[in-house]
Copies of this chain bind each other. A is one copy, B any other.
Amino acid sequence: MFSVPNSELQKVQSRLEQELFERVIPFWERHSLDSTYGGYFNCLDEDGSVYDTTKHIWLQGRQAWMFAKLYETVQPEQRWLDIARLGIDFLRNHAITENHRVYFATDREGKGIQIQRKIFSECFYVMALNQFGKVSGESIYQQEARQLLEHIWNWSKDLSLVGQVAYPGVPPSQGLAVPMILLNVFEEIAGPNWSDYESEITTCITEILQHIDSDRKIVFETVGPNGEFIDTIDGRMLNPGHAIEAGWFLQHWAQILNDSSLQQLAFDMVDWSFERGWDQEFGGLYYFLDSEGRPPTPLEWNMKLWWPHTEALYAWALNYKLRRKESDWEHFTTTLKYSFKHFSDPVHGEWYGYLNREGVRTHRFKGGPYKGCFHVPRGLLYTLQCLKEIGKGVV
């Protein structure tokens, strides 16, 4: 068992606290609030100026969740609760349709722009309402969240209900994203009182585990109905950041359920995905890889994006907390150094989001259609909480 010197732990903790509370959260507090129409501006340039007023609902939900989480876990700042409410009101007034679908985007005033044939807008809506209800003490929010979650669960079992078309040439398959996001939603909604959702949670865990090939030490994004390998572009695709995030979602459940074999599988997901996904030449986590070394086709396959790094940061802190391996701390430090060197912006705050393989920044904005107030503050907050527990000797 390896033990990080307390002085090092303290140093890292201070660095993360400074980043989260002086550079990241203030950026969103200063620049994102739409006091006229409610909700948040999420398309923000590097200096925080608004370059598009579209409201992307994943990010509205995630930001409302984030501020309610800060209120709950850091300190009950009224300002944070007000910011959360700004998003919650916008979501409830504008983002949801009569059919319980949630828009992917609305215009500034809240008129719908797009609905995806996916269920993730709904998931982040549920997470936001639930967390806000938890801290505001108003029960209506958690009731609404649980009601919508029931729809989401039904849709997730038959995606034709949200408009996905089953064409004759598409072989049956299952993706990692749906069970993994749902498992995180159940953690938020149910937490340790998980018996209300026992069968759903078991289903999600079973489905996630079908993506793991333990012989080859690979986590696949897409597999057949029984976990079979599919030899196509999609079937061979690996998304190391996603698998690492799924790893810590699963680890949280391994702890709640006190299941040691699940704990080991969750460790494996992180170990293998980081090992395979880290670029030995230039550093950073690749976005996509092909399991057989075939050429990946997505535009961003070898780019380094912010969120796989925030997920890896927390996953290594968590794993170190649970098993105290020296290599966990080394990987944590490697991820931390790379992230702070390449993504952090000490001038304007928040993190940049996109680098090329070599680590040169390719995109200037801090907020865009898929990047908002979520992965950076959540990763920093969770890591901080974890380091504090390590310092206290909590396992």
Contacts and interface: CB of A to CB of B under 8 A. Distances in A.
Interface of A: 43, 45-46, 51-54, 103, 105-107, 109-115, 165, 167-170, 232-233, 294-297, 299-303, 354, 356-358, 360, 362-365, 368-369
29 contacts: A43-B297, A45-B295, A46-B295, A51-B233, A51-B294, A52-B233, A52-B294, A54-B232, A103-B167, A106-B169, A109-B169, A111-B168, A111-B169, A113-B167, A113-B169, A113-B170, A114-B170, A115-B165, A115-B167, A233-B369, A297-B363, A297-B368, A297-B369, A299-B300, A299-B303, A301-B362, A302-B362, A356-B357, A357-B362
Contacts of A303: 299
Contacts of A364: 295
Contacts of A113: 167, 169-170
Nearest to A45: B295
Given A52-B232, A52-B233, A360-B358, A45 B294 contact: yes
A51 B299 contact: no
Contacts of A362: 301-302, 356-357
Copies in the complex: 2
Contacts of A109: 169
A160 to B, nearest CB: 15
A43 B365 CA distance: 33
Nearest to A50: B294
Contacts of A369: 233, 297
Contact of A295 (B115, B297, B357, B365): B365
Contacts of A301: 362-363
Q: Which of A103, A301, A363 has the most CB of B within 10 A?
A: A363
Nearest to A294: B51
Given A233-B52, A357-B356, A167 B295 contact: no
A187 B369 CA distance: 38
**The 3 nearest A-B residue pairs measured at CB:** A111-B169, A107-B169, A295-B365
Contact of A363 (B46, B295, B354, B365): B295
Contact of A167 (B51, B114, B165, B300): B114
Contacts of A52: 232-233, 294
Given A111-B168, A169-B113, A295 B233 contact: no
Given A295-B368, A356-B360, 17 more contacts: A45-B294, A51-B294, A51-B295, A52-B294, A54-B233, A103-B167, A109-B169, A112-B168, A113-B169, A114-B167, A114-B170, A115-B167, A295-B364, A302-B362, A356-B357, A356-B358, A357-B360
- Which of A105, A113, A294 has the most chain B CB within a 10 Å cutoff? A294
Given A46-B295, A51-B233, A167 B112 contact: yes
A170 B106 CA distance: 9
